[in-house]
Chains A and B, each alone.
Chain A
Amino acid sequence: MTMAPLELTQEMDVPKIALKGVKKFFGPKVVLDGIDLDVQRGESIVIIGGSGTGKSVLLKSILGIIQPDAGTIRIDGQDTTHIGGRERERAMAKFGMLFQGAALFDSLPVWENVAFGLIQGQRMARGEAKERAVATLGAVGLGPDVANLFPSELSGGMQKRVGLARAICTRPEIIFFDEPTTGLDPIMADVINDLIVKCVKDLGATALSITHDMASARKIADRIAMLYKGRLIWVGPVSAIDDSGNPYVDQFIHGRAEGPIQMQIRAF
């Protein structure tokens, strides 16, 4: 019995996600070159970085969809870098993921997409799951009439929101958002930002988001990490983003073409 408090405090100390030296190559191309990052329980981290710097690859590596070539990934202290089968499935139950391209199941109606984790993962009855799905759709600003449409009948922004609803419907402990507000109008983008904040604050979820939208990043992030050339060149609290003292971060957040980050373009 005396052990209990100790175990509790230990558990509090273990970061929810711990990356150490994660590397990923695609052929000769180095995409991730030693990523170290600890994400605490209930924390919201936003990863920023240029297009094609490997942000999506990083999220997929943590999920085990892409096998990193080096380094370790720990979820709740458990090394999940190379697990498979049942263990992987169990680890996955903690996650919700919004894919950059939404990745909706186009053979299923919208509500079944949203309720998928409930029906298949948690074996919930279909009627009950549908209710939950419609409620979650409401939270992302989609009416119940959308529930019976198919993904191909939705606009890009609506698909994105359905993907978001699917990611949060099971109330996962860890949620990944790959560009949640891309393709949305400014008002809806703000609604989604609020929703993400709500997920983290109310449900106590740990969130890892990718965004190019600095307004969104400022709103949802506790900490911001910048990925450049396969490394996290700056990690800091959101309040420090404006005086980070890092010329790369400055250039990025102000969206300037001139600066240390040179875009690989040629005149045409």
Chain B
Amino acid sequence: MQRLHAGPAWVHCDTPYMAPPRPSPSTLTEDTPLSSDGLGSGKEKAKFMNFLSAIGRATLTFMEAAGHLALFTFTALAHCLRPPFYFRHIGRQMVEIGFYSLPVVGLTAVFTGMVLALQSYSGFSRFSAESAIATVVVLSITRELGPVLAGLMVAGRIGAAMAAELGTMRVTEQVDALTTLSTNPYKYLVVPRLIAGTTMLPILVLVADIIGVFGGYLVAVYRLGFNASSYINNTWQYLEFMDVVSGLVKAACFGFVISLMGCYHGYNSRGGAQGVGAATTNAVVSASILILVLNYLLTGIFFS
């Protein structure tokens, strides 16, 4: 009986991918009397089938996109290992990502550190644990806030720029022009961005860590009246090597994801200005979400 219920839903589904071999008309009339299978009137059933096929379609679209992305990633990684390498472009992207993101990342970090100090002071003074502030600031910054906030800021800055640039190149046929000039667009466009993103984000985050801790120090010493040397001592006291390293590993993963999303959406953009706009949005949104999800997964791996 189970099969019989499922039968009509598949038969009426109009998505070409998921239609299994259709039962011949004779088996249909024999096995599945169309209106007496407990699902009520034909209209209700049609609704139910539409619902099912909508789920099926969404699932298929998702699987297709995931497969497409996996293929893109695999191709790009394979090209990372094979010459020729465009060092000039890798360098240019490194400057673009690493150097020009410094102001925005530094600003984010310094204010985050300052807010952390203020917040933890107002919270911790309730049970007179003010001495823990330095530790709270440094651990939060190095383990979580540094990589995540820097990642999100860079996703907005760099992911969007990459998607827009590659998207424009795609829709104005510049990507096609590359192939006619014996240059592989993966090698020329995608690989430098992936390498620069993966290597530059840890450096940015290291800088952000230092600036963030310094922000906390500023607030603690000049606003909350802590003793400078004891604050610094407290900062170092409970900080472990692993705290910083885990943050940097996270940063490398985020950098890879940002570049990958920027390149993937830009490279596959369609249409004109609207397509490029959509690619940019998708790049930033997907990179941001992936950063948050990855952050949870990596934290689970590091500190379980």
Interface residues of A (CB under 8 A from B): 60, 63-65, 88-89, 92-93, 95-97, 99, 101, 103-107, 116-117, 120-123, 166, 170
**Cβ–Cβ contact B179 & A120, under 8 A:** no
Interface residues of B (CB under 8 A from A): 84, 86, 165, 168-169, 172-174, 176-177, 179-184, 188
**Cβ–Cβ contact B183 & A121, under 8 A:** yes
**Cβ–Cβ contact A104 & B183, under 8 A:** no
Give Cα A162–Cα B182 distance, bound, in whole angstroms: 18
**Cβ–Cβ contact A63 & B179, under 8 A:** yes
Give Cα A107–Cα B88 distance, bound, in whole angstroms: 14
Give the shortest distance, in Å, between B79 (CB) and chain A (any CB): 10
Q: Which of A96, A104, A170 contacts B174 (CB 8 A)?
A: A104
Q: Which of B172, B179, B180, B188 contacts A96 (CB 8 A)?
A: B180
Residues from chain B with a CB closer than 8 A to the CB of A103 are 172-174, 176-177
Give the shortest distance, in Å, between A258 (CB) and chain B (any CB): 35
Q: Which of B176, B184, B188 contacts A99 (CB 8 A)?
A: B176
Most buried by A among B165, B173, B188: B173
Task: Across the A-B interface, give the 6 residue pairs with the lowest CB-CB distance, nearest first.
Answer: A121-B182, A103-B173, A103-B177, A97-B180, A117-B181, A65-B176
Residues from chain A with a CB closer than 8 A to the CB of B177 are 97, 99, 103-105, 166
Residues from chain B with a CB closer than 8 A to the CB of A60 are 176
Q: Which of B86, B174, B180, B182 contacts A105 (CB 8 A)?
A: B174
Give the shortest distance, in Å, between A193 (CB) and chain B (any CB): 22
Closest to B82 in A: A86
Residues from chain A with a CB closer than 8 A to the CB of B172 are 101, 103, 106
Give Cα A88–Cα B173 distance, bound, in whole angstroms: 18
**Cβ–Cβ contact B181 & A166, under 8 A:** yes
Give the shortest distance, in Å, between B185 (CB) and chain A (any CB): 11
Closest to A65 in B: B176
**Cβ–Cβ contact B173 & A92, under 8 A:** no
Q: A105-B174, A116-B183 are in contact. List 10 more A-B contacts (CB 8 A).
A: A95-B180, A96-B180, A97-B177, A99-B177, A101-B173, A103-B172, A103-B176, A105-B169, A120-B183, A120-B188
**Cβ–Cβ contact A121 & B181, under 8 A:** yes
Closest to B179 in A: A92
Most buried by A among B168, B176, B177, B184: B177
Give Cα A65–Cα B169 distance, bound, in whole angstroms: 14
Give Cα A116–Cα B177 distance, bound, in whole angstroms: 10
**Cβ–Cβ contact B180 & A63, under 8 A:** yes
**Cβ–Cβ contact B174 & A92, under 8 A:** no
Most buried by A among B165, B184, B188: B184
Q: Which of B173, B174, B176, B182 contacts A120 (CB 8 A)?
A: B182
Give Cα A95–Cα B176 distance, bound, in whole angstroms: 13
24 example contacts (A-B, Cβ-Cβ < 8 A) are as follows A63-B179, A63-B180, A65-B176, A65-B179, A88-B179, A89-B179, A89-B184, A92-B179, A92-B180, A92-B181, A95-B180, A97-B177, A97-B180, A99-B176, A103-B172, A104-B177, A105-B177, A106-B168, A106-B172, A106-B174, A120-B86, A121-B182, A123-B84, A170-B181
Most buried by A among B179, B181, B188: B181
**Cβ–Cβ contact A92 & B176, under 8 A:** no
Residues from chain A with a CB closer than 8 A to the CB of B174 are 103-106
